[in-house]
Chain A
Amino acid sequence: MIDSQILERHGLKRDEYDRIVQFLGREPNLTELGIFSVMWSEHCSYKSSRVHLKTLPTEGPQVLQGPGENAGAIDIGEGLAAVFKIESHNHPSFIEPYQGAATGVGGIIRDIFTMGARPIALLNSLRFGELETPGTSRLLEGVVAGIAGYGNSIGIPTVGGEIAFEPSYAGNPLVNVFCLGIAVASDIIKGVASGVGNSVYYVGAKTGRDGIHGATMASAEFDEKSAEKRPAVQVGDPFMEKLLLEACLEVMRTDALVGIQDMGAAGLTCSTTEMGSRGGAGVEIDVSLVPQRETGMTPYEIMLSESQERMLLVVKRGREAEVERVFEKWDLHAVHIGEVTSDGLLRVKDQGHVVAEIPNRALTDEAPVYRRPMAEPEYLAGVRRLDLDALAEKGPYFFSANHDLLALLGSPTIGSKRWVYRQYDHMVRTNTLNVPGLGAGVVRIKGTDRALALSVDGNGRYCYLDPYRGAMLAVAEAARNVACAGARPLGATNCLNFGNPERPAIMWQFAQAVEGIGAACRALGVPITGGNVSLYNETDGRAIYPTPVIGVVGLLEHADRLLSRRFQAAGDIIVLLGEDRGELGGSEYLKVVHGLVAGVPPALNLESERALESLLVDLADLRILKSAHDCSDGGLAVTLAECCFDAGGIGAEISIEAVHAARAMAMNRAAALFGESASRVIVSTTVDNVTEVLERAAAAGVPARIVGRTGGNLLRVAVGGHMAIDLSVDEAERAWSSAVERYFQRRVA
């Protein structure tokens, strides 16, 4: 009864089917096939990515929990752990922006509290097509409203993030959400089912037909109504999740709980098999006991439903009443749906009749692993070529540096994201020290003197031009942002957004990026503690830019020593840490001013980067800096301008060396102002402290020099002794503030 059509609808290949038959020693029934198809899907099995992910550094003295659990955890002192992870919700957000983004937030929050941690902060990393493209503003509005709607309602602050706009994301936006929680290090809970005879409980929302993969139709009769019955978008309920969060944290304080896991992708199927597999046990459940929202649901549908806000718990035998009481208190009903068994099988019953019986290991550890063919993409040779002199001849040569700077500040990728983050509640729980828009988000750890800084970063354009280097730069930027806040980077999580891995060019990008992440994480001392892979990000055969997004968490031992990007006072000394190499490859300047995506991304010396980050943390700890801001998109000129924004109109005047990037003078000037060389930071300090800053930089081997002073209400930059930029801070700030907002003001009815 299983023909090639059914296999195709389940996304299974013929040889994979043969393996299934081998494991079972018989043909699977439809329910079993459905279970295999979701567990062996790319999303759950990481079948294309696993061989590469294994090479990532995941260990360190600070790591309490590496990849493989619901989230990673690092030691942050005083007996506490930071539990964090990033996850994608790209495809659902494109179909239904509000609910897609909202349920993405809900999913990552569940991953965090499942570990026994109280979620305290959210970040997001978003990528869309250009705002001019029809439909983009609607998508952005929906996604932002969804993140706000869920995050604000459940009472967890969104403290930062990033947004970039590139044409390659027009048919496939990226919505990556990061959540951080705090747990008592010794009380971290795992997603494990063990202890034969222990009870398996289902808690939370009822199961409906939401999110069941397209295969459902295989079993349903086709009639007028089938359109209505088909896989529907998941709808989130933040209030239900709040109840679940509080109830689960309370249950975890008792020792009646053995393990817990949220039902995310592949719902009941994934949670039962993964928990069983981790505990080396079997799990038996009866789907007729599962609370259902709709009538007539088949075991197939119940096992594959992705209804939101549901958890699976394993409770010690004899302690059930205790656990049930806690859930009752929170108006939730914990339902006993099965037991842990000794046979290592996932056994699904429907009113006592066995409807599926599969060895857990066949679904998890024994899932297919592919070493897919790789080949360097053909486009690379072409796009890496960059002739600045030819560009200078072509123009637009009549533009002044002032004009170019205003154009960059007004580009939505660089400009202020205030329109977005003002929709987020970033102060709820009253721990937020650095609000969005000031660099890394910083949250206080209540009850201690400490704080955590968090940043998510990525650059698809860099990775398109060189995935290895681009991925290293993403790690470095996230860690540097955290260090700029004064925090020591401790751990990282990654969200890898790529195209179709069955194409050798995409697989090559993926492998290169993972290698780059590994190299940078090892050198910078930030092990990867978990993450998520999102493949098949393509529309009409055109892939997105390869986009690894990195989240880094760092620790500030004294919360009051934190720094932001803003200049604090007039008359301070501006110091540039790091080296200008005038690298324009892949820069925002080339894209915005010349409409060009070309060249090689900036070089990154990992040792220099590590020295720089370590120096920043030390200087912040000595309280001899007043601000610190990392040079990234748009280079030095944009960075300096950003130091002046939201700072009460404090201007700055600096003078920098000319660089030699080309023969054309205009290009050398542009390279000095807008080149995106890595490992550079603009800091400000007082006249009294500047000597110590310079001495300590010299001792750390970090190039440092005084470039100017804060003050006045102008933004002035001289290059090689010639004034290149001379603007009022007001004018520059206007261009920057309205960069995103202007696309939405026009549409107000």
Chain B
Amino acid sequence: MRARVFVTLKASVFDPQGKTIADALHSLGYEAIDEVRQGKYFELDLKTTEAEQARALAAEVADKLLANPVIESYRIEVD
């Protein structure tokens, strides 16, 4: 199975990198883009064929390593 983990800063946490990207886009003339929040994306190839197991495993490694739970949250997709 494959799990995709999307890690982003929590909504209330300031994202300097996202802000810099937004500023760069504005300087390129993309005034229609209001704000940017950036994050990290992981693909995990898992040995299991059980979706629930895959999800649990992905959540475990996200909590332990992929995300910093103090300032980041994550979302998992399994297929």
Residues of A within 8 A of B (CB): 95-96, 99, 205, 208-210, 228-230, 232-237, 239-240, 293-294, 307-308, 331
Contact with A along B10-49 (1 / 0, CB 8 A): 1111111001100100000000000000000000000000
What distance in Å separates the Cβ of A81 from its nearest Cβ neighbour in chain B? 32
Whether, in the assembled complex, B53 has its beta carbon less than 8 Å from a beta carbon of chain A, the answer is no
Decide: A229 near B70, CB < 8 A? Known: A235-B16, A239-B16.
no
Decide: A210 near B13, CB < 8 A? Known: A228-B73, A233-B70.
yes
Decide: A294 and B11 in contact? CB cutoff 8 A: yes
Expressed in whole angstroms, the Cα–Cα distance for A228 and B10 within the complex equals 7
Known: A208-B13, A228-B12; 18 extra A-B contacts, CB below 8 A, are: A95-B70, A96-B68, A96-B70, A96-B71, A205-B14, A208-B14, A210-B12, A210-B13, A229-B11, A229-B12, A232-B10, A233-B13, A233-B71, A235-B9, A235-B13, A307-B14, A308-B14, A331-B23
Expressed in whole angstroms, the Cα–Cα distance for A234 and B13 within the complex equals 7
Which residues of the partner chain B approach A294 to less than 8 Å between Cβ atoms? 11-12
Expressed in whole angstroms, the Cα–Cα distance for A228 and B71 within the complex equals 9
Which residues of the partner chain A approach B11 to less than 8 Å between Cβ atoms? 228-229, 294
Decide: B12 and A235 in contact? CB cutoff 8 A: no
Which residues of the partner chain A approach B73 to less than 8 Å between Cβ atoms? 228
Contact with A along B48-79 (1 / 0, CB 8 A): 00000000000000000000101101000000
The 5 closest A-B pairs by CB, nearest first: A237-B16, A209-B12, A235-B14, A232-B12, A96-B70
CB closest residue in chain A, given B70: A96
Decide: A239 near B70, CB < 8 A? Known: A210-B13, A307-B14.
no
What distance in Å separates the Cβ of A381 from its nearest Cβ neighbour in chain B? 42
What distance in Å separates the Cβ of B19 from its nearest Cβ neighbour in chain A? 7
Decide: A232 and B16 in contact? CB cutoff 8 A: no
What distance in Å separates the Cβ of A99 from its nearest Cβ neighbour in chain B? 7
Interface CB pairs A-B, < 8 A, 5 = A208-B12, A210-B14, A232-B71, A235-B16, A294-B12
Residues of B within 8 A of A (CB): 9-16, 19-20, 23, 68, 70-71, 73
Decide: B14 and A237 in contact? CB cutoff 8 A: yes
| Max chain A Cβ within 10 angstroms of own Cβ: one of B13, B23, B68, B70 | B13
What distance in Å separates the Cβ of A196 from its nearest Cβ neighbour in chain B? 35
What distance in Å separates the Cβ of A418 from its nearest Cβ neighbour in chain B? 28
CB closest residue in chain A, given B19: A237
Expressed in whole angstroms, the Cα–Cα distance for A179 and B46 within the complex equals 49
Expressed in whole angstroms, the Cα–Cα distance for A331 and B19 within the complex equals 13
Decide: A234 near B20, CB < 8 A? Known: A96-B70, A96-B71, A99-B71.
no
Expressed in whole angstroms, the Cα–Cα distance for A445 and B65 within the complex equals 45
Expressed in whole angstroms, the Cα–Cα distance for A294 and B11 within the complex equals 8
Decide: A234 near B14, CB < 8 A? Known: A228-B73, A239-B20.
yes
CB closest residue in chain A, given B35: A293
Decide: A235 and B15 in contact? CB cutoff 8 A: yes
Which residues of the partner chain A approach B9 to less than 8 Å between Cβ atoms? 235
Which residues of the partner chain A approach B19 to less than 8 Å between Cβ atoms? 237
Expressed in whole angstroms, the Cα–Cα distance for A410 and B37 within the complex equals 46
Expressed in whole angstroms, the Cα–Cα distance for A290 and B10 within the complex equals 22
Which residues of the partner chain A approach B10 to less than 8 Å between Cβ atoms? 228, 232
CB closest residue in chain B, given A206: B14
Expressed in whole angstroms, the Cα–Cα distance for A237 and B23 within the complex equals 14
Expressed in whole angstroms, the Cα–Cα distance for A239 and B17 within the complex equals 10
What distance in Å separates the Cβ of A95 from its nearest Cβ neighbour in chain B? 6
Expressed in whole angstroms, the Cα–Cα distance for A726 and B19 within the complex equals 60
Decide: A232 and B20 in contact? CB cutoff 8 A: no
CB closest residue in chain A, given B15: A235
Decide: B70 and A240 in contact? CB cutoff 8 A: no
Expressed in whole angstroms, the Cα–Cα distance for A208 and B10 within the complex equals 12
Which residues of the partner chain B approach A237 to less than 8 Å between Cβ atoms? 14, 16, 19
Decide: A293 and B71 in contact? CB cutoff 8 A: no
CB closest residue in chain B, given A293: B14
Which residues of the partner chain A approach B71 to less than 8 Å between Cβ atoms? 96, 99, 232-233, 235
What distance in Å separates the Cβ of A402 from its nearest Cβ neighbour in chain B? 44
Which residues of the partner chain B approach A308 to less than 8 Å between Cβ atoms? 14
Which residues of the partner chain B approach A229 to less than 8 Å between Cβ atoms? 11-12
CB closest residue in chain B, given A240: B16
CB closest residue in chain B, given A308: B14
Expressed in whole angstroms, the Cα–Cα distance for A228 and B68 within the complex equals 13
Expressed in whole angstroms, the Cα–Cα distance for A331 and B22 within the complex equals 14
Which residues of the partner chain B approach A95 to less than 8 Å between Cβ atoms? 70
Which residues of the partner chain A approach B20 to less than 8 Å between Cβ atoms? 239
What distance in Å separates the Cβ of B34 from its nearest Cβ neighbour in chain A? 12
Which residues of the partner chain A approach B15 to less than 8 Å between Cβ atoms? 235
Expressed in whole angstroms, the Cα–Cα distance for A239 and B9 within the complex equals 19
Which residues of the partner chain B approach A239 to less than 8 Å between Cβ atoms? 16, 20
What distance in Å separates the Cβ of B63 from its nearest Cβ neighbour in chain A? 14
CB closest residue in chain B, given A99: B71
Expressed in whole angstroms, the Cα–Cα distance for A240 and B20 within the complex equals 10
CB closest residue in chain A, given B14: A235
Expressed in whole angstroms, the Cα–Cα distance for A95 and B13 within the complex equals 14
Which residues of the partner chain A approach B16 to less than 8 Å between Cβ atoms? 235-237, 239-240
What distance in Å separates the Cβ of B64 from its nearest Cβ neighbour in chain A? 12
What distance in Å separates the Cβ of B31 from its nearest Cβ neighbour in chain A? 16
Which residues of the partner chain B approach A234 to less than 8 Å between Cβ atoms? 14
Which residues of the partner chain A approach B14 to less than 8 Å between Cβ atoms? 205, 208, 210, 234-235, 237, 293, 307-308
CB closest residue in chain B, given A229: B12
| Max chain B Cβ within 10 angstroms of own Cβ: one of A205, A237, A294 | A237
Expressed in whole angstroms, the Cα–Cα distance for A235 and B20 within the complex equals 14
Which residues of the partner chain B approach A208 to less than 8 Å between Cβ atoms? 12-14
CB closest residue in chain A, given B73: A228
Expressed in whole angstroms, the Cα–Cα distance for A233 and B13 within the complex equals 7
What distance in Å separates the Cβ of A448 from its nearest Cβ neighbour in chain B? 36
Expressed in whole angstroms, the Cα–Cα distance for A488 and B52 within the complex equals 69
CB closest residue in chain B, given A305: B12
CB closest residue in chain B, given A209: B12
CB closest residue in chain B, given A238: B16
Expressed in whole angstroms, the Cα–Cα distance for A650 and B10 within the complex equals 55
Which residues of the partner chain A approach B13 to less than 8 Å between Cβ atoms? 208, 210, 232-233, 235
Expressed in whole angstroms, the Cα–Cα distance for A430 and B13 within the complex equals 35
